[in-house]
Amino acid sequence: MSPASLSLKERISEWKIRRKRIRYYRQGKSVSLPIWILNLLLTEFLLFMAGYLWFLHRTRIPILSLALALTINALVTVAFALRKRKSFQKEKADGRRQVAKKRLMENIRQLDRTQFKWQITQMLLKCRGIGSLKDQGDHLEATFHGRKTAIGCYHADLGEEMPPQALNNFLNQAKAEGAAEAVFISSGTYSESCRTISEKKSRIPVHLLDLDSLLQIMEECGMFPEESIIDSWIDEEISHQKRKPDRLRKELRSSKRIRTNLGYSLLFLLLSRWLKSQSAYYTVVSAVFLFLALGPWLWNKKDGSEPTKEQKFMEDLAAGEKS
């Protein structure tokens, strides 16, 4: 369905879904989006004021100073927005990749040994470096860049290590059949004994691939699910998440945010005394920040949620501040 044919209700529903996904991609971020926007606007305002006052001091022409300050502010804003967009796109791609890997990992672990071997075969058929793939019963045989290669696979249970004896038997058989190198793929983990066998005791080069390696190859071979399927998985993850406390309200009531708003209030109060022509505007802004500082402080006093000394220390420690 094209965006033009969507009703208002459907548009609102789509917007809510996108908003939830954006919040999911930004999991772990210390600053909520509204607070981040507020900080950005304040930073831009301070940058504009600094630029305007500097140009005014140098040129003595208010209109020219205003134009130059706005131009520089716009360029800095565009550069910052592009940088944040690139950062978010990376967060989004990483989040989607992790969800896809998690679901594929769960699906692979539910396979039996025959199905796991079939999955490996399908993956190898999509690998460009693999040719002449044959099923030899207990293992696969192929040519890898023209070299005869034996490919073994072992489907392990959750948390199970690869048995060293099974790996050793496979390598001996691969050598006896004239393989130039070997690849072993396991859904479990490799013990130190397996690593020792592959690095020191094996008579042919051998590559040990675990489940993470398998998923990486599947992604590079284009075997990851379609975007719509990943979207549905993310929506399921979101629906199963426990509802967290309102981060915006919690952050506005934090002692650090109260101190920051009080600092902004004092800053705009000083500007109102310095720039007499715009005194009323800066006085109003100062009053707004004073309200944002005193309101949460009084609310914390009312419900007894004033942070303790230990809580303040932990907040400062997390923020990288000195006590």
> How confident is the model over 199-236, as pLDDT tens digits?
887 788 899 999 898 899 888 888 888 999 999 999 98
- Domain match, 301 and 232 both: no
- Is there a domain that residue 216 lies in? no
Give the span between the Cα atoms of 89 and 198, in whole angstroms. 39
Query: What pLDDT, on the 0 to 100 scale, is given for residue 323?
Result: 43
Domain that includes residue 6, residue range: 1-110+227-244
Query: 124: which residues sit within 8 A by CB, 6+ positions away?
Result: 130, 133, 140, 142, 151
What average pLDDT does range 318-322 have in this prediction? Answer: 50
Number of domains comprising the chain: 3
- Is there a domain that residue 85 lies in? yes
- Is there a domain that residue 222 lies in? no
Domain termination site, one of 182, 217, 244 = 244
- Which of 179 and 158 is assigned the larger pLDDT? 179
- Domain match, 168 and 235 both: no
- Domain match, 99 and 81 both: yes
- Domain match, 104 and 132 both: no
- Is there a domain that residue 165 lies in? yes
Q: Which two tokens stand for residue 127?
A: 């690998």
Give the span between the Cα atoms of 319 and 264, in whole angstroms. 19
What average pLDDT does range 168-185 have in this prediction? Answer: 91
- Is there a domain that residue 102 lies in? yes
What would you measure as the largest C-alpha separation in the chain, in angstroms?
Answer: 92
Q: Which of 30-34, 141-145, 151-155 has the lowest mean pLDDT?
A: 30-34
Strands in 147-154's sheet, in edge-to-edge order, are 130-135, 140-144, 147-154, 181-186, 206-209
Give the span between the Cα atoms of 123 and 86, in whole angstroms. 31
Which pLDDT band holds residue 63 (cuts at 50, 70, 90)?
very high
- Domain match, 106 and 4 both: yes
- Domain match, 257 and 201 both: no
- Domain match, 199 and 254 both: no
Query: What pLDDT, on the 0 to 100 scale, is given for residue 145?
Result: 81
Which pLDDT band holds residue 312 (cuts at 50, 70, 90)?
low
- Domain match, 105 and 233 both: yes
Q: What CATH number is associated with residue 199? A: 3.40.1350.60
Q: Which of 42-51, 73-82, 169-178, 211-220 has the lowest mean pLDDT?
A: 42-51
- Is there a domain that residue 36 lies in? yes
Query: 68: which residues sit within 8 A by CB, 6+ positions away?
Result: 51, 55
Q: Dihedral of CA 216/220/224/227: which sign?
A: positive
- Domain match, 150 and 104 both: no
